[in-house]
Amino acid sequence: MRGGLWQLGQSITRRLAQTDKRTIARRCYASDAELKKTALYDFHVAHGGKMVPFAGWSMPIQYKDSIMDSTVNCRENGSLFDVAHMCGLSLKGKDCISFLEKLVIADVAGLAPGSGTLTVFTNEKGGAIDDSVITKVNDTHIYLVVNAGCRDKDLAHIEEHMKAFKLKGGDVSWHIHDERSLLALQGPLAAPVLQHLTKFDLSKFYFGEFQMIDINGVHCYLTRTGYTGEDGFEISVPSEHTVDLAKAILEKSEGKVRLTGLGARDSLRLEAGLCLYGNDMEQHITPVEAGLTWAVGKRRRAEGGFLGADVILKQIADGPAIRRVGFFSAGPPPRGHSEIQNENGQTIGEVTSGGFSPCLKKNISMGYVKSGNHKAGTKVKIIVRGKANDGNVTKMPFVPTKYYKSS
């Protein structure tokens, strides 16, 4: 599914318009014993979800509305996403923070209890193994969520280092939350709708914060975060209560919050200028090159102590050779691997994600260019289907973010 969620969704939409729907249903909903299903699988199908394989799971790419309409509705009203394919886990023990700091770039110790941040798991060369949102529940409990497509390698990486850490006397253990599901409620109606289902005052709960509270009568983990650039929440709920919670959220919104698939989720995160691991960030790309220098905590810059620290800290000091930037462009929408040239026709980089923005009604993309070509306003040519199209470097996010922060 490298960079193809939006395109796949558009393809399905066209095929539904042109082909017998029963044929498409057989093709898209075909039982595959190897694909895992979330607790909402039957709920998705009943609501017209078009299911596709994604990271070993059968997931909805879209529903009855188009990806364009779903994207706009999220920004105007709200969306409910099933993200239970992602992997939630807890690290516990008096040394869990010092253990995790060997693997990620964040200043985990410096986080206030009940707060979190985006971070990156790095390898010995400073490359990104995965990006993750981590939360310091307290000094002996860290909760984090890793990407579905990276689950196996992430867990193997953590386990390998945990074994070595414990052999040296470190106190850390883990639990993988396979008994829980994850929902993402995003958009301007997210907070008012969710407030109907909990006694906890969401007006005093800000972006990046975490609480364990009752929602719809069930004990949940709530994080004010998301992957759309909008205000919203990720809700970890016991899997047996997921359908009831999804129904309650949709009912309380009076039809304004819609079930939304991976296609719109991809266009929303692109508009927000957020990386998709496997496209915009990979094992050979460092956090500095990816524009995530801000995620390297101040103390970590001084002390290092994480995998690949020597490479990353040198790049912070001297500057990286390549940088992730955004683009506006004319012509057909750029896609992953579209070549980027300077005005003299010299290759300076490559697009990693791109598409037509449903909200801006223009082409947007992101990719990597050689340093020196990364400043906003720099004119470029983006090659699509063998033809050079005018473009220019622009700052991200493309659509302003609306995170709920304390004033």
Q: 234: annotated binding-site residue?
A: yes
Whether the bond into 397 is cis, omega within 30 of 0: yes
Strand order in the sheet with 57-62: 36-37, 57-62, 50-54
Please, which residues have CB within 8 angstroms of residue 211's CB and are 6 or more apart in sequence?
Answer: 114, 200, 205, 221, 222
Half-sphere exposure of 401 (CA within 13 A, CB side): 19
- Bridge-based pairing of strands 257-259 and 78-82 is parallel
Nearest Cα to Cα of residue 404 among 274, 213, 224: 224
Phi and psi, residue 277, nearest 5°: -65, 135
Distance in angstroms (rounded) separating the CA atoms of residues 335 and 355: 6
Question: What residue type is assigned to position 15 of the chain?
Answer: R
DSSP 342: -
Element (H, E) at 176: strand 173-176
**First and final CA of the chain: distance in angstroms?**
39
Distance in angstroms (rounded) separating the CA atoms of residues 83 and 268: 15
Positive/negative CA dihedral, 125, 127, 129, 133: positive
Please, which residues have CB within 8 angstroms of residue 72's CB and are 6 or more apart in sequence?
Answer: 358, 359
What 3 state SS string does 33-100 have?
CCCEECCCHHHHHHCCCEEEEECCEEEEEECCCCHHHHHHHHHHCEEEEECCCCEEEEEECCCHHHHH
Identify whether the C-beta of residue 6 lies closer than 8 Å to the C-beta of residue 14: no
> 391 has which bridge partners?
329, 380
Query: Can you say which residues are annotated as belonging to the binding site?
Result: 234
Feature table: binding site for substrate: 234
